[in-house]
A and B are shown apart, each in its own frame.
Chain A
């Protein structure tokens, strides 16, 4: 007893832990890697998907997110914080798990989404809570100059997956894009085209291959103005 206490005293008086960058995001292989496959099985994700989600618990757990994504899930257009209200639960779960594993780079959010602060089950609860929130129509929009061009592009290249009204597909992990902030849509579309969004769908990247920045802007403005019946 005397010895352990003495040792403890000495060690606590002398030792200082090294500066640990333990909240830095890990890096996992993504679309830039040969043989990349989209949405491969992930243990953490399967746990969350199998969890009988409880939106009420999700509301409480969402506290750690709302400092950025806001109480109503509307995000913040200027800061590139995406709107989460009304998004499919499966999409929210997949995206967070991709960020946790390092398949989607997001160092800004990573410290607030690791398993030290939120469990896989809590993520499922949060996702259920967010999915049930109405999507505010107050999202950021573009300049509106090229909506006809945007519509044509969207209906030709995107609607097959994201749906005519931008509703996405929960079963296929395809995000709802309707009513999302324009700046965020533009960034994600561009990043997907340029393989900066490393967890992107390869088929979607193919569809974007010939897109100019002006095309990206037009289609993003169009998506930001879409709305899904019953979501507002």
Chain B
């Protein structure tokens, strides 16, 4: 699976989706059904238990339920534009999404992977205190000191460096606009070095 580039993969999934006669995944009404869908459709990219291996696919294990559901809905409606996730989410029912969100939120996350430990001190400083010189508020104020997100905000602890970098760049360039506008302001105020450093620090959080 990881050999396919996301864009190619999206095309394949799209194609398969348009050919499939039913088009919708059957409504699931319990966690077991969600686990079935997760295994069948999502595991190839996000891992069986939501701890994805490839660094471009976000880890979903232990992610906040509210946030997971919102993302799935936004992918389905097209509010969050993403060539890979849009066609996948478009085949999920409302019930599937509720169940999948609960499923991934309940999975245990495994430790993340730091790719450049030298950046950790700068990343930690920014995460905990922000940077008043450029009006970057402390990430910990919203995402919590432990990176858990505290219910209202997404969990960032243990996330892949490459995925986080990609998202922060999407925010900074105004290409990810489905959620609250705060992250666009945060990301565009960050320097390249700060962005890399904070991504490393988030990956290091248990």
Task: Spell out A's residues near B (CB within 8 Å).
Answer: 1-2, 5-6, 8-9, 11-13, 15-23, 63-68, 76, 78-79, 81, 108-109, 111-112, 114, 116-117
Number of interface residues of B (CB under 8 A): 36
* CA gap between A50 and B177 in the complex, in Å: 32
Contact A76 B132 (CB under 8 A): yes
* CA gap between A6 and B14 in the complex, in Å: 7
* Distance to closest chain A CB from B93 (angstroms): 13
Contact A117 B181 (CB under 8 A): yes
Residues of chain B within 8 A of A109, CB atoms compared: 135
Residues of chain B within 8 A of A65, CB atoms compared: 141
**Most B Cβ at <10 Å: residue of A5, A13, A66, A76:** A5
* Distance to closest chain B CB from A14 (angstroms): 9
Residues of chain A within 8 A of B181, CB atoms compared: 22-23, 111, 114, 116-117
Residues of chain A within 8 A of B174, CB atoms compared: 17-22
Closest 8 interchain pairs by CB? A67-B137, A111-B185, A67-B141, A79-B132, A9-B14, A19-B174, A67-B138, A23-B181
Contact B17 A63 (CB under 8 A): no
- Number of residue pairs spanning A and B whose beta carbons lie under 8 angstroms apart: 101
Residues of chain B within 8 A of A21, CB atoms compared: 174
Task: Spell out B's residues near A (CB within 8 Å).
Answer: 7, 10-11, 14-15, 17-18, 23, 78, 81-83, 86-87, 90, 130, 132-133, 135, 137-142, 150, 152, 173-175, 177, 180-182, 184-185
